[in-house]
Amino acid sequence: MKTLSRKMLAFGVAAAAAVSLVGCAVTTGNPTGGDAGSSEDKDEYRVAYIARAQADSFAAWLANEMRAEADNYDDITLEVFDGQADDEIENSMIENAIANRFDAIIVQANNADAQLPYIQQAIDAGIVVITTNPRVEGLTGGNSVDADPYEQGAVVAELALEEIPEGANVVVLDGPAGNFHSTARRTAWQEVFFDERPDVTIVAEDIANWNKDEALTLMEDWSLANPDIDAIISMNDNMAAGALEAVPGEGVLAYGVDGTPEATLLIQDGVMTATSLQNAQELAQLNMEAVHSLLTGETDEVNVDIGNPVITIDNAAEYVQLYIDAGLIAE
């Protein structure tokens, strides 16, 4: 694990530096930059990206990639905001982006139900709006760039059917309540794995809010109460990595989603079992392509999904190399 820590230092520093997210203060900007709805006639567009939380490793990676991809567009200025995994803060940021007349707002919702009315306000104000990671359902208008969270969970759950031993005791780590990705991934695990494996017992399950530290605390308690845990089933990699820190060297199987740099290293080292990749680079590319085409009038609506390849010990080196090339893992 010392090797992992050294390698991940580059990822942590890069994420923290590149994702120097704006806090909860109102973005001042130029209020005379143009009225909402007239963006097609402009030479430069101001886009607000409201990220879920810098403490979430995937959200930090995605924000990093969004900034990098925005640099490829001479007519787009991207400002990034940290929602701090707090619904009130994120909702306030959406309101601030409307008040400050951003041409477009890209929202990574913390809680889709909580953010929905505020996102709808932006749409109703004539602002180009994209929801991403997760897509927010129930909006009238709006656009989305996302992955299929059910499939992300299903492809990993299919592996677990053969890998988790008969009569196993498992624990389950869930994302925030009401989060589309967390709910869909958990549904996939239920339908693909648990319904097919009644011999498996869930000895503990709780929400860890995508957070590594929360997952670590839960796993410390669970492992004391249940010394024979065979597998960790997590709705994201960050929580899986935290849970594994509570049971080092015990050979517990661990499944996640996201394919983060940390997870790929853990899988390559035989510590974590499998994940499915949610490629932040691809999400960022599609988001910036979408917002640019919407702002310039090239298209009227965008709703697209990225793929979800599985990462195991057999192919982890390929993805580790991807992160090395991206500067997110040190060689």
Map out the domains of the chain as residue ranges.
2-145+281-306, 149-276
Q: How many CB atoms lie within 10 A of CB 185?
A: 28
| Each residue's pLDDT tens digit, 286-295 | 999 999 999 9
Q: Is 2-145+281-306's fold the same as 149-276's?
A: yes
How far apart CA 238 and CA 213 sit, in angstroms, is: 9
Strand partners, 22: 81
Reply yes or no on domain 149-276 having CATH 3.40.190.10: no
CATH topology of domain 2-145+281-306: Rossmann fold (3.40.50)
DSSP character at residue 193: I
- pLDDT for the residue numbered 63: 95
- pLDDT for the residue numbered 41: 64
How far apart CA 154 and CA 39 sit, in angstroms, is: 40
* 3-state secondary structure at position 141: coil
- pLDDT for the residue numbered 228: 95
| Each residue's pLDDT tens digit, 89-106 | 999 999 999 999 999 999
CA-to-CA dists, residue 194 to 189, 190, 204, 234, angstroms: 6, 5, 14, 14
Sequence-distant (≥ 6) Cβ neighbours of residue 272 within 8 angstroms: 237, 240, 241, 244, 254, 255, 256, 263, 266
Q: Contact, 128 vs 103, CB < 8 A?
A: yes
Torsion on CA atoms 25, 99, 147, 313, rounded to nearest 10: -10
pTM comes to 0.79
Residues of the chain with pLDDT under 70: 1-41
- pLDDT for the residue numbered 253: 98
Q: Contact, 87 vs 94, CB < 8 A?
A: no
Token pair recorded at residue 292: 């640019």
